[in-house]
Amino acid sequence: MIRHLLCLLAIIVCEKPAFSQHPLNIINNSTLSSPKVNVWSTPEDKELQDIIQCDSLFRPLDSKIPNFLVSDNWHWIVFSVVNHSLEKNLKLEIAYPTLDKVHFIKVVNGDIISSDSAGESYSFNTRKTEFKNYVFDLNLNQYDTATYFIRIRSGDQVIAPIKIIALNKYVSQNASDNLFAGMYFGIILVMFLYNIFIFLSIRDRSYFFYVLYILSVGLTQAVLNGYAFKYFWPELPWIAERGTQLSGALVGIVTIFFVRHFLRTKTYAPKFNALLTIFAFIYFISIVFALFGYLTIAYNLININAGPGSFILLFTGIYIYKRYNNRSALFFTIAWSIFLISVIVFVLKDVGVIPYNNFTVLGLQIGSAIEVTLLSFALADRINILKKEKEQSQAAALFAAQENERIIREQNIILEQKVTERTVELKTTNKELNKTLIDLKETQSQLVESEKMASLGQLTAGIAHEINNPINFVTSNVKPLKRDVDLLLELINKLETIAKSNKSNTEKEIEIQALKVGFDFDYLQEEITFLLKGINEGSTRTAEIVKGLRIFSRVDEDDLKKADINEGLDSTIIIINNLLNGRIIIEKNYGNIPLAECYPGKLNQVFLNLITNAIYAVNAQFNQDPGGIIRIETEATQNSILIRISDNGIGMNESTLKKLFEPFFTTKPVGEGTGLGLSISYNTIKKHNGTIHVTSTPAIGTTFTIEIPIIQPNS
């Protein structure tokens, strides 16, 4: 404030003669006067006394209305007044309510007599008057002369329409302005209520955006005319300072959204629709600038966007009307044209091209009221259009339904014929399918039997080999044993002859000793014992093989029974013992497991398949060299028995693992496998309500894990 006063004193010292050269003479009480003024603009961050050059810094204003356009500068207005009237209560009005800061200072004979401040940067309730415009008291008695300074700054356009008027006349004028504003906002309110009622009835999104448009237009007019600050947020200068920018950008965004939905620009004018989206985005950017305090940038951005944006909206309506003869576009074009004319009149008034009077001041409100009303008619007409389109659609739908009914009747006759024909074909096909199904079942049985025969072939070869060894051992010992027995019998006969002779005992003893030496009796006795032992071992091994065969090939496999899983594994190992060739080691780690309900014969077949596959994998890895190991483990959990069969063979990759249990899939050469073993094994474990999992790593080995319940469910 001190800096402002210093600036003011500098102006008074340098400019006193200039300011008093053309004072305004107030002659009578009814005069509404606009004084001739001098103006000067300066940046805020400089002291006025440092740049003032007396008269040269101020210039007389040729136009009637001071218009400083959009600027961040501080703007000074200076004029002198002489009161020759009887009116003592003279007021000065600045009829532009959106200025941020207005300082009014009275100077008489170089002395500051009074000062007052107002504007949107201050609370509305701090004003000395409650008028929406800025009204200051001249405090000028009859025949008095005074010089007045007005200091203005604003984030949007700075226009200062100055009027000097008696208080009673201004009150009357203000009442007339309020009456007109009441009529305008009454129209806005009626249009709002009318259209929101229609929106709630028909739920058309165009009405929703139009209701928002009406609200934004009314709010913008309330902001521009000072009513919003006075009635809505009098204690919120922060909002008041940004009101022009925020309401202007908001009405632009809502207008674009309304037009896009009302004229369906996405369908009828996609290029214009894209342009409108860009304009809406620019409005949004201006809101961001305004919120962060860049008011001048935001205001300029809105002005730059509003001009071409408004005409793009107009061209969009014209294009859609001419291209598609769209009646809604015609209504919009007329309404928007009227509004644009009112905007042009309002702008031309601000720049001084046309007179500043009640019509030009209120032209924007009149134009927006007419536009809102016409657009309401357009939306009402849209209902009629939609109703007509609905009736046409219903008629088309009825015709289509009747046509469909006729077609359906005709098609029913054709379908009945087709159904009869297809029924015959289906019966024939059904017979063929039944025959195919029987053939498939027979083929399946044959394949299963083929796998059994393949396993039986391995079994037979193993049994023949296993039994042949001990039998050969027995048969090879029988012949020398017979020879030794014959010698023994011969020895016995000769001993009997010696015993019956009349020779003395000494002679008999000498002959017997000689006879034993001749027959090599000690060796003969030792050899007979060795041969009998070999025969005993061969027969015992044969008995074990037969027992293992009996356990492996149980004939009661179609019945559930409790069986020892460890015993079944041992019997399987006996059967395939010949395949080990003495180079593969079987490591057994059997747990203490209970008897399990199972189909023993089928389960032994699974063990046979897995162990023979393990032998094949080990042989492929070690190429008949020693080092192959097959581990067989069993353990019991609370409800299940786990069997693991692991090998250190060639292993399998992921693609092989995915197809491992598929029928006919095998990695063995042709003639060495049917590809059914693991598929049958999988189904066998599934029949036991169990699971079989496999993990494998190439060149490391494979592990099959079988889990079967100890007690079968529903058994």
Give yes or no: residues 160 and 24 share one domain: yes
pLDDT tens column, 421-439 = 888 888 777 887 777 766 6
CATH code of the domain containing 306: 1.20.1070
Residue 361 belongs to some domain of the structure: yes
Residue 658: which residues within 8 A CB-CB, separation 6 or more?
Answer: none
Q: Where are the beta strands (DSSP E) in 545-605?
A: 561-563, 584-589, 596-598
Mean pLDDT of 226-236: 92
Rounded to 5°, angle at Cα 431 from 426 and 433: 90
Look at residue 642 in the predicted model and tell me its pLDDT: 94
* Structure confidence at residue 470 (pLDDT): 64
What pLDDT, on the 0 to 100 scale, is given for residue 13? Answer: 40
Tell me the C-alpha to C-alpha distance, in Å, between residue 322 and each of 43, 259, 268, 379, 525.
52, 17, 11, 19, 132
Query: Is residue 357 domain-shared with residue 344, that is, in the same domain?
Result: yes
Q: Within a domain: residue 272?
A: yes
* Residues 532 and 503 reside in one and the same domain: yes
Residue 651 CA to residue 653 CA, distance in Å, equals 7
Residue 428, pLDDT score: 79
Give the range of the structural domain holding residue 520, as residue numbers without chain letter.
Answer: 434-550
Q: Is residue 160 part of a domain?
A: yes
Position 402 in a domain: no
Are residues 502 and 568 both part of a single domain? no
Average pLDDT over all residues of the chain: 79
Flag the least confident range among 354-368, 567-581, 631-645, 655-669. Answer: 354-368
559 and 546 in a common domain: no
**Same domain (yes/no): 227, 145:** no
- Give the per-residue pLDDT at 19: 45
Is 400 inside a domain boundary? Answer: no
Distance CA 97, CA 178 (A): 14
Q: Which residue has the tokens 């009318």?
A: 194
Q: Return the pLDDT at 5.
A: 34
- 53 pLDDT exceeds 50? no
pLDDT higher than 90, residue 235: yes
**Which residues, 6 or more positions from 417, have their beta carbon under 8 angstroms from its beta carbon?**
none
> Is the model's pLDDT at 592 over the cut of 80?
yes
> Residue 488's pLDDT is what?
74
Structure confidence at residue 135 (pLDDT): 93
Task: Mark which of 148, 174, 200 sits at the end of a domain.
Answer: 174
* Top-ranked range on mean pLDDT: pick from 84-98, 445-459, 667-681: 84-98
- pLDDT band per the 50, 70, 90 thresholds, residue 55: low
Together in a domain, 194 and 162: no
pTM: 0.52
Q: What is the pLDDT of residues 638-685, one digit of tens each?
A: 899 999 999 999 998 888 888 887 777 676 665 556 667 788 888 888
Residue at which a domain ends, from 529, 550, 571: 550
Query: Based on the domain organization, do 657 and 685 belong to the same domain?
Result: yes
Q: Are residues 578 and 597 in the same domain?
A: yes
Hey, which residues does 694 pair with through a beta bridge? Answer: 704
Residue 337 lies in a domain: yes
How far apart CA 402 and CA 409 sit, in angstroms, is 11
Least confident of 187-196, 333-342, 519-528: 519-528
Residue 563 sits in the same domain as residue 637 = yes
% helix, strand, coil for the chain, step of 5: 60, 15, 25
Residue 31 has pLDDT above 60, yes or no: no
- Token digits of residue 537: 């071992």
Same domain, 237 and 316: yes
Token readout for 88 is: 């003592």
Which of 426-435, 453-462, 697-706 shows the lowest per-residue confidence on average (mean pLDDT)?
A: 453-462
- Residues pairing with 67 in the sheet: 159
Confidence of residue 267 (pLDDT cuts 50, 70, 90): confident
- With 70 as the cut, is the pLDDT of residue 12 above it? no
601: in domain = yes
Residue 318 has pLDDT above 70, yes or no: yes
Residue 249: pLDDT above 80?
yes
Quote the number of domains for the chain: 4
CATH number at residue 592: 3.30.565.10
Domain boundary among 531, 550, 569: 550
pLDDT band with cut points at 50, 70 and 90 for residue 11: very low
In this structure, is residue 417 part of a structural domain? no
Query: Would you call 338 helix, strand, or coil by DSSP?
Result: helix
Which is more confident, 532 or 658?
A: 658
Confidence of residue 136 (pLDDT cuts 50, 70, 90): very high
Q: Are residues 460 and 520 in the same domain?
A: yes
